[in-house]
Amino acid sequence: MSRVHDALRRAESTVSGAAAPAEPPAPIRQGMPSSVPAFDGILEKIQTVPFTPSPDASMLDANRPSEAPAEEFRSLRTRLNHLQSLQPIHTVVVTSASPAEGKSFSASNLAVAQAQLEGNMTLLADFDFRRPVVHTLFQIPRSPGITDYLQGKAALEEIIKRIEGTSLYIMPAGEAVLNPLELLNLPDVKTLLDKLPSIFNWVILDTPPLLFAADANLLSTLCHGLVMVVRIGTTTIDSVTRAIGSLCQNNILGIIVNGALKSELYSKYTYYHSYYYSKSE
């Protein structure tokens, strides 16, 4: 398993040292341009699917909230929600410098953690048209998805699925395309990302790695912020430096550190929760 470590240190330095609350309520959406219309009535048209994640997905389990990975993602959620209470942040790109560093795992679990807050409408959108995996993690069809919508082959309500019993919505990548970057340059992409926060409090984008495609760089210019995933023992300082240097704008919210040893995580959380429950008996 892995952990989230110090994910928003850099972003929090801009808030004059204000401490994040223990667990803020789901923030109110704000900052949407008045010229952007809402998707009236779309939620009633969206299909609901059961929550049946892949056994290999390492997804957070709401029935086991005291597990160490769940604690880490709740901590990340709290910091992001606190940051959102200070400035309008609703669309976030989750990426990495190179493949196999855990960006899809992190994006998916962050979305699950956000959706566990009552009324915190969260959309997980798979904008990795090159090697999409979100549909596999949640065991839903890949198509119709975002590429189908951008090509005029599907309506928006057809490409979004609601996870039953939650505030989590999934937008899969869609059918494979030969020109993913050209598709992302369509004006419809900006329009879509501008409109989605009128429905969802959080829109979390899983995107290709920064050093292997320009997709995440482009999408970060259309979103409110970017979170980078690095993997212990895999990601190098040079690759992170080059990835950050490739960005057109510096809107990095923080870093997710992935790949910690399970024993390192469970030792502190097992001690804390064992102590808490013994005091409560």
- Please report the pLDDT score of residue 234 as a whole number: 86
Using pLDDT thresholds of 50, 70 and 90, give the confidence band for residue 229: very high
- Please report the pLDDT score of residue 64 as a whole number: 64
- Please report the pLDDT score of residue 233 as a whole number: 84
Enumerate the H helices of the chain as residue ranges: 9-12, 68-86, 103-115, 134-138, 146-150, 156-159, 180-184, 187-195, 215-222, 237-245, 262-280
Task: Say whether pLDDT at 258 is over 90.
Answer: no
- Please report the pLDDT score of residue 154 as a whole number: 96
pLDDT in tens, 164-203: 999 999 999 999 999 999 999 999 999 999 999 999 999 9
By mean pLDDT, which of 153-157, 173-177, 190-194, 274-278 is the weakest? 274-278
SS3 252: strand
SS (H, E, C) 204-246: EEECCCCCCCCHHHHHHHHCCEEEEEEECCCCCHHHHHHHHHC
| CATH, domain 9-14+48-280, list 2.60.120.10, 3.90.1150.10, 3.40.50.300, 3.60.21.10 | 3.40.50.300
- Please report the pLDDT score of residue 198 as a whole number: 93
- Please report the pLDDT score of residue 238 as a whole number: 93
By mean pLDDT, which of 58-72, 114-128, 217-231 is the weakest? 58-72
Using pLDDT thresholds of 50, 70 and 90, give the confidence band for residue 273: very low
Better-scored residue on pLDDT, 190 or 269: 190
> Region 210-234: what's the mean pLDDT?
94
- Please report the pLDDT score of residue 262 as a whole number: 57
Task: Say whether pLDDT at 15 is over 90.
Answer: no
Task: Say whether pLDDT at 244 is over 80.
Answer: yes
Spell out the domain ranges in the chain. 9-14+48-280
- Average pLDDT, rounded, for the chain: 82
The burial of 188, by beta-carbon neighbours within 10 Å (0-12 exposed, 13-18 middle, 19 or more buried), is given as middle
- Please report the pLDDT score of residue 36 as a whole number: 42
